[in-house]
Every structure is written in structure tokens, then in C-alpha cells.
Amino acid sequence: MSLNTSGVGDKVLGRAVSIEIENKHPLIVLANELPWDEITSVVLEDLKQTAGGQWWTGRPLMIRIHLAAFLLQKINDLKDRETEYLLRDNAAAQLFAGIDIVSQWHIPDHTKIEEFRSRLSPETQRLLANIITQHACKLGFADPSKVDIDSTIQEANMSYPSDIRNLTKIAEKSKKVLDYLRSVGDKTILDVVDVNLKKVKKLARDCFFMSKNTPVEEKTDAELKVLKQTKKESKPIIDVCIAMAQEQIDKLPWNVKDAALQLKEFALPYFKDAKTYFVERIAVPGKKLAFHLSEVACFNKGKKHKKNEFGRCFQMMRLCGNFLLALPNASIENNDKESITPSIADHEKLFGPKAIDSYTTDKGYYSKANEDILIKAGVKEVGMQRPGNVNREKLLPMKREEQLANRRSGIEPLIGHVKQKGQLGRSRMKSDRGTESAGFAAIMGFNLRQLTRSLTGNPETAAVF
């Protein structure tokens, strides 16, 4: 083998480079098959919700460019800056975004990509996910007559909700507010000496490093010491925040404002709830799990590797062809048994009445009423797995029941793929609205990858382009 060292010591200079993108490229094929008119009509209502209400004034928003950037972001699970870099560096991505068909085409800044995404409501992003599946059915890649349903937990962007840790956070937020008010010479904190954060953290560490065999009484005493010290250090600042008018709070920097609002609304009730748990070992219903998030619940699905999960539940239906439909979030818990009726209603909106031939669930969805609902909806094969103590007459032969149960298990790996390539596993968002939106957008990204595979006939085309 010979060696060639040409160009090793030379510098690289920027210049125009001609790149040919074939019509068979996955992004070109996908761009030509997507129902852009339908997608645009769905997002328009959100985009018209401007501060002044006069959405027709000002610099025009290039919807085709931003929609393409949003879809590319969700296909590849990219951050805003990474999406901007993709559009700058990838010729196929530029063609997907309409470089030759959009007048005054340009690459949007990452801040504008974030702004566009934030304007889309969770419901809009759910509808977008379902439009992709509906379009796949029209193209013949999916069959809406065969349906499987399952749920999964999306973990919120929060630390484990330990009472000791949350009490420490209250002290930290109090210190932040105090330091800012002192730096601007605010006279409302003249009587406040300081927040001894170091002492609170020392007591918290003592609790954290306690042996598992520590008697409950000793553990309770240590926890109450943290609570007492936190309350002592933070109460003066909390009182200042409570006394502040909303106009005063709005003038604070965003990070100080968030801390002040959380102290004003949640600190005192949390002290009470934490004390109840320390003394009685009973969690108060409605107790705050995270100060920056309100729509968070605790789930325990009996998984060995995940005893408790904190976030929200998503319900999904799989159609034959491995495309997913996202059901609306009626609540944070989205109870399995209560999801059958909404799933039928949502399916009917997209594909018409009595369009389901077979419908399968796991045991968590079972009830006699739910079986009757499916039968009334015209479902020919009700593959609802039953708990062992149910003696009701079987609806299907045993062999067919087993076949449908095996088919239903096929939704599990699909949920795993959605979690792996999106934020349905753990959200990166720091608000309830953003967290819910990210879950629906992850399902949309999965459907787009599936559609690309189907259009190109290549199972590898759903990788990062």
C-alpha cells in the first residue's frame, strides 16, 4: 500500500461548493409527500395569537421555513442551536426548508426557532403528530382498523422531590432574593440580617448521610431541625415576597422574579406539608413536588428499575404499520380505564365511525364497561386482556386472544423508540406547557421517521440526516 500526504500541511479556505442532491434523498421525498397545507392550517391559529392581536402587521413570518425547521428538529431530536447549524451546513435540509420555493428564503436564528416552537400549543403539536399518521393511512402505509393502546410516563425536568432537598431550595431562593434586593438598596429588607444557607445545608447533609438503619425517631428529629432552621432563615424573606405587589415583582430580573413568586405562593404551605410528612409519614394530597412545575404526579407501575416516576402520563394508540396516534391529556394521570372512550372518539374524528376491526389493551384497561363500550363502537375483535379473577364469558377463542395479546406487546418497543429519540422519556423543558408539548412533539418526530422509512423503503433512512 502506498501513501499520499497531499494537503496535509495546507490551509482550508471557504468558497462556494456545488452539491447535487438526488430526488431520491429521504428529505426530498418526505418534503414532497407531506401535507403542508393541512399542517399550516393547524398551526395558523396559534401563530395568530399575538400580544396586540394584530398578527397581520410587522415583518412577515416565513411559515414554510419555520415549519420545516420544527419538523427537522423533531425528526432528529435536536436543540435549537443544533437545528440552526443543520440548516446552515446541510444542503438537503435547506431544500427541505424550501430554499428554491420560498421567496426571501433565509436561515432562521436559533432564538427565532425557539420562539416559533414556543408559540405552538400542546394540542396543536398533538394534532400535528396525528396528521402524519392520518396521512400515512391515506398513502397506504398504515391501517387504522387494527388498534393497540398503551400508556407511558414522561419524566419531568426536575430533581427527585426529597423534602430535605426542597427545603434547601427554599433557603437558596430566599438567599437569591435577599442578595438582589440588598444590591439595589431596597429598604424592605433592612431588618433582615442574612440567610445562613451554610447552616441549612449542613443540617441537610446530616440527614442525607444518615444510615438506613437509623431509628425513625432520630431521623424525624434531624428532619425537623432542617425544617425549623429553614423556616427561621427564610421566613423574613418570604414575608417580604408576600407583601410585594405584582407590579414590583414584575420589575425584578426573571430569575429573581421566579424565586420570589415561588416563595410567595408555595413556601409556607410547603413547610406545613413537610412537617406533616416528617411527623406522620403521610404525604399530603396535592403537595408540591417541584416549585417550578405544577402538573407533576407520582407514578408507580411496579417496575423493578423504576419504583417511582415523577411526571405525566401519555396515552398512545398504535395502528397497523407502526404509526402512533396521541390521545389528548385529560389530566396529568390519564387513567388507563378512563382512556377507552376518548380513544374511540379521537379515532372516529380522524377515520370515521366504526372504522376499528380489532382493538387490544393490557390488563390495566380492563373493565366490563370498557368491553361494552368497544362492542357498542362496532369493534369486531375486542382483545382486552382480563385479570385472572374475571369469570365473564370470553369474547374470542383462546388462540385468537393469545395472538392479539402478542400483537399488543408490539407497541412497547415503539414507545421505547419514541423515548430514545425524543423528550417523551425525560423532558428538557422547564414549564408545564413546554413539557407536555415536548411529549407530543416526540411522537410526531417518531411518525415522521416512520413515514420516511415507508416512503423510501429503506429502514436506515430514519437516522440523523
Q: What is the pLDDT along the chain (465 residues), one digit of tens a residue?
A: 789 999 998 999 999 889 999 999 999 999 999 999 999 999 999 999 987 888 888 889 999 999 999 999 999 999 999 999 999 999 999 999 999 999 999 999 999 999 999 999 999 999 999 999 999 999 999 999 999 999 999 999 999 999 999 999 999 999 999 999 999 988 888 787 899 999 999 999 999 999 989 999 999 999 999 999 999 999 999 999 999 999 999 999 999 999 999 999 999 999 999 999 999 999 899 899 999 999 999 998 777 777 889 999 999 999 999 999 999 999 999 999 999 999 999 999 999 999 999 999 999 999 999 999 999 999 999 999 999 888 888 889 999 999 999 999 999 999 999 999 999 999 999 999 999 999 999 999 999 999 999 999 865 544 433
Count the neighbouring beta carbons within 10 Å of the beta carbon of residue 56.
Answer: 8
Please check whether residues 183 and 246 belong to one and the same domain: yes
Look at residue 89 in the predicted model and tell me its pLDDT: 94
- Separation CA 61–CA 48 (nearest Å): 11
Please check whether residues 308 and 422 belong to one and the same domain: yes
Which of 246, 280, 314 marks a domain boundary?
Answer: 280
- Quick check: is 33 in a domain? yes
Please check whether residues 259 and 308 belong to one and the same domain: no
Per DSSP, what are the bridge partners of residue 152? 314
Look at residue 459 in the predicted model and tell me its pLDDT: 54
Please check whether residues 187 and 145 belong to one and the same domain: no
Please check whether residues 186 and 68 belong to one and the same domain: no
pLDDT digits (tens, 9 = 90+) for 309-337: 999 999 999 999 999 999 999 999 999 99
Look at residue 50 in the predicted model and tell me its pLDDT: 85
Look at residue 53 in the predicted model and tell me its pLDDT: 81
- Quick check: is 1 in a domain? no
- Quick check: is 189 in a domain? yes
Please check whether residues 337 and 398 belong to one and the same domain: yes
Residues above pLDDT 90, as percent of the chain: 86
pLDDT digits (tens, 9 = 90+) for 18-62: 999 999 999 999 999 999 999 999 999 999 998 788 888 888 999
Which of 119, 147, 174 marks a domain boundary?
Answer: 119
Rounded mean pLDDT of the chain? 93
Q: Evaluate whether 441 touches 129 at the Cβ level (below 8 Å).
A: yes
Cell numbers found for residue 421: 429519540
* The pairing of beta strand 309-320 with beta strand 297-299: antiparallel
Please check whether residues 146 and 172 belong to one and the same domain: no
Please check whether residues 184 and 266 belong to one and the same domain: yes
Cell numbers found for residue 396: 374470542
Please check whether residues 108 and 33 belong to one and the same domain: yes
- Quick check: is 347 in a domain? yes
- Separation CA 380–CA 464 (nearest Å): 40
Please check whether residues 111 and 72 belong to one and the same domain: yes
Residues near 344 by beta carbon (within 8 Å), at least 6 away in sequence: 356, 373, 374, 377
- Quick check: is 178 in a domain? yes
- Quick check: is 17 in a domain? no
Please check whether residues 372 and 423 belong to one and the same domain: yes
Count the neighbouring beta carbons within 10 Å of the beta carbon of residue 378.
Answer: 12
Look at residue 389 in the predicted model and tell me its pLDDT: 87
pLDDT digits (tens, 9 = 90+) for 228-264: 999 999 999 999 999 999 999 999 999 999 999 999 9
Look at residue 458 in the predicted model and tell me its pLDDT: 63
Please check whether residues 435 and 348 belong to one and the same domain: yes
The CATH number linked to 302 is: 3.30.420
- Quick check: is 364 in a domain? yes
- Provide the domain limits for residue 328: 139-158+296-443
- Quick check: is 91 in a domain? yes
Split into its structural domains, the chain has a count of 3
